[in-house]
Structure 1
């Protein structure tokens, strides 16, 4: 337990110095949320139920950025610096590093999600009407899946610049084609087809169902299957990645 605490403390210290991760998890989603919220507020002020879809959607962006930029990018940086190779032959257990990274990612998700909710309530005067239990369950599955995406990124990209480039390339489709900022129904038919291949689409829809108390309905089944498959893949690759003899 003491080792777990020390490794988690170290990861949180690294997070406090991670300008890129802090920006993409706590600043960029908050600014986008406030901007699009104000834009909607001036155009459709009478339909405040929009926020019951929009808030969980933007929380989905937090999940993606936390998994990619805080977990995945940090793992790539550590490998590029040779951190894992230096751990070969030491008594440090790889599973402790893996667990500390997961805890760091989950804490970032919780803080980022609370930030979005507070901005919605205090900054945009949005109604906060959610099923807390179902939303927490949906967020646990979605957050776990996207933290595992970080390990998938770390498994296939060995250099910071290549991983960062992929992050920028995937960020905009995740932002605009997942239903997080623009409802899927508002997209042209061609982009609706493209959105089927955007993993965040399924997380956003699951979060929206959890928020509305519709988590245990048939409309959530495919979302859970897709996210579950991503989670399993991430666990397999993460276990392989955090073996010092393969770092």
Structure 2
């Protein structure tokens, strides 16, 4: 447990030192919040955007770089297994996403007078599931795309359209009907819905179940496709 904690702390420090990750997971959502004048309904979507940026935008390139530089292969003969490193990266992404989300929520409430979330436990569960779901998709991308640059590019190409079509960056009601239909089938959409339910206090089991199913499917696919070298 000590080794895993130390490894997670190291992964988190590396993420914090990455200017792109810090900007898009902290400053960028705050900029959008200011542009929206603190619109309450936008906050859950921005939280989903934060975790999508980490899980699908940043994680694939990091994991692919470890494999490309033979880090995972070398770890296979040490007490710190490659699985432990990948787990530490997952936890680090969730923690950084949580930090960005807490700042976003704090600014929205204190700075713009947005009402606090009505169901904090549901919001927390939705956040955790949405974070792990995006990371599971990130691991799939890293499993399929062998090099770091390609994995980062594919991750961004998957993530950016998804945050718009799933209602994370802009409300889905503002999109044309054809684009809303596409959004119905995107894995980030139930994440946005679950976070919105937690914020508003609405009870919605279906998005939670869908997120859990995607996590199981994504993890299974990543495990089947991933190669350590």
CA RMSD of aligned residues (A): 2.2
Name whichever of 108-117 and 13-22 sits farther off.
Answer: 13-22
Q: CA deviation at 1:242?
A: 7.1
- How is 1:1-247 mapped onto 2 (pairs within 5 angstroms)? 1-35=1-35, 37-38=36-37, 51=40, 53-215=41-203, 217=204, 220-221=205-206, 223-239=207-223, 246-247=228-229
Deviations, residues 136-160 of structure 1 (Å, cap 9, x unaligned): 1221211121121221121111222
**How many equivalent pairs are there?**
229
Q: Compute the TM-score of the two structures, normalised by the length of structure 2.
A: 0.88
* Greater Rg by CA: 1
5+ residue gaps, structure 1: 42-49
Q: Does the aligned pair in 2 maintain the 1:151–1:241 contact within 8 Å?
A: no
- Aligned partners of 2:58, 2:174: CA distance in 1, in Å? 31
5+ residue gaps, structure 2: none
Q: CA deviation at 1:75?
A: 0.6
Q: Compute the TM-score of the two structures, normalised by the length of structure 1.
A: 0.82
Q: CA deviation at 1:55?
A: 0.9
- Aligned partners of 2:78, 2:159: CA distance in 1, in Å? 37
Report the equivalent of 1:47: none
C-alpha change, 1:204 and 1:210, in structure 2 (3 Å) is same
Deviations, residues 24-77 of structure 1 (Å, cap 9, x unaligned): 222222222322x22xx6xxxxxxxx51x2111110101101212343221112
Q: Does the aligned pair in 2 maintain the 1:63–1:146 contact within 8 Å?
A: yes
Q: CA deviation at 1:237?
A: 4.1
